[in-house]
A and B are shown apart, each in its own frame.
Chain A
Amino acid sequence: MTVLVFTGSLLGSMALGMPIAYALLVCGVALMVYMDIFDAQIITQNLINGADSFPLMAVPFFMLAGEIMNAGGLAKRIVAFALTLVGHIKGGLGYVTILTSCMLASLSGSAVADAAALGALLVPMMTQAGHDKARAAGLVSAGAVIAPVLPPSIGFVIFGVAGGVSISKLFLAGIVPGILMGVGLCVAWWLYARREDTNRLAKRSTKEVMVAFKDGFWALMLPFIIIFGLRFGMFTPTEAAVVVAVYSLFVATVVYGELKLSDLPALFVRSALTTAVVMLLVAAALVSSWLITVSEISTQIIDLVEPLIDHPTLLLLAMMLLVVIVGTALDMTPTILILTPVLMPIVKQAGIDPVYFGVLFIMNCAIGLITPPVGTVLNVVCGVSNITMEQVVKGVWPFMVAQLIVLFLLVLFPILVTGPARWLGGY
């Protein structure tokens, strides 16, 4: 019954077009009334103290870093470098897109930020070279969702805080699965591009490669700074986020000179506003999550899935299916926030490694950003490349399927996640 009150009030208010943050609060009020513990202070205590979290400060720092990278020419240089590396092979621009997506993903924490940058830079290039525009936009969209899986990642930060899982371990465990997503895209693109007849670019000389590498060097250093910093002792994940922001600010203003000080106020306002929107959602989710804790919904749900508890793989598949369904309609952050308190007790009960689960969960939420009908990454790519939603949905599906296959493989072979994570010293 409590489960019905929870889902009914939440989905009901969302269907009315209410912002999800407020829908979560309405859901909180409904739960309080149902449990007969109505008190406005339960809302405010959880809302305000929920926002009061040092680890979550990674969110604004990554937002800021993303803005700076796009405005400051870091993204552009990475594209140029990838172009010299793989631009000349058949369907080369597709591989350029995938390589760039991976490189940018290891700098940025947000799929939407990457989608904006990649869409603006690469869709026109691919179209000019004779690729189908819808397919190009689809590939860019699918590439952008690697960002939350390859560290750094806002998704891991939010999941880590909501589920009480080590953010550093999640970051290190996300590296190989993130790369596998890129590999999956390459296979899908290869299957598609071998039939396509497009202009091929000339092979670049080693010298040209070196020039592009030197130009992009400062940007390309960033992932190494993050991974070494985390692994060998300079900062915590939150601090890594601020280091990324300050470093990209330094590169964009001093090294590349593409960002003027007068551009900064607007950047800061935009990042702060986006942060507020995301974090209000996080804080509001903590209101309903507190009530879920107090109401013991999780025990009811565990009873519900009891028969599956002894079959971790089936259980994982069932949970992943649920996430895919929720992901079709919900953005990443709300999916994480709504499902984490519901799923984590099951994960613990079934003895599934929370870090491993976290990687699959976040990858699944990321894929949700490119599943219709609601996919924020699709919207952004439509916006920057001027095509319709129908077209981009047609273009994205082979790549979406490729990523779902990667996800499925990770469910079947957990060692693909846990093995490299242990090797990297995550645990």
Chain B
Amino acid sequence: MTTILQGRAHVYGRAHINTDEIIPARYLNVHAEADLARHAMEDLDGAFVSKVQAGDFLFGGEDFGCGSSREHAVWALRGAGVKAVIAPSFARIFFRNAINNGFLALECAEATILAEPGDAVELDLAAGRLRNLTRNREAAFVPLTDFARDLLAAGGLLPYIQAKAPTVRTAAQAGA
């Protein structure tokens, strides 16, 4: 995985941004990333999809992604081009879905004050640091656990399981 990423900041500092805002339930009758991407963050900021570009970062408030278990929330953001979500804390299922997808969800205490919308931000995965290139600010994020790192390196939970236990696949395939 490339360890230095650059992108623009989108900032939604409110706490408890929930999955109904990230991808409203009225769109749960589809699950292709491209379809979901058209409605990412729609109920919070209808203009988000017109602003976001591939490789951008989304900065959120505490308990980001609370609410339903829909993985569609991660897919919608990724489909819209978001490279990483950075927040002081995440709701459990959102975080789990993110790393299961090999998608970056990083905990950073200063997430809501590091950047203003549109700032250029650099994410240094190896160093565990975020740099606001526009305003010359820097912050550390909580290092990922070894397990989360392994999942990200593998590209998500399913490739991870397959690489770790090829027998799982063959047993399942051969299974009566």
Partners in one complex: no
Interface residues of B (CB under 8 A from A): none
Interface residues of A (CB under 8 A from B): none
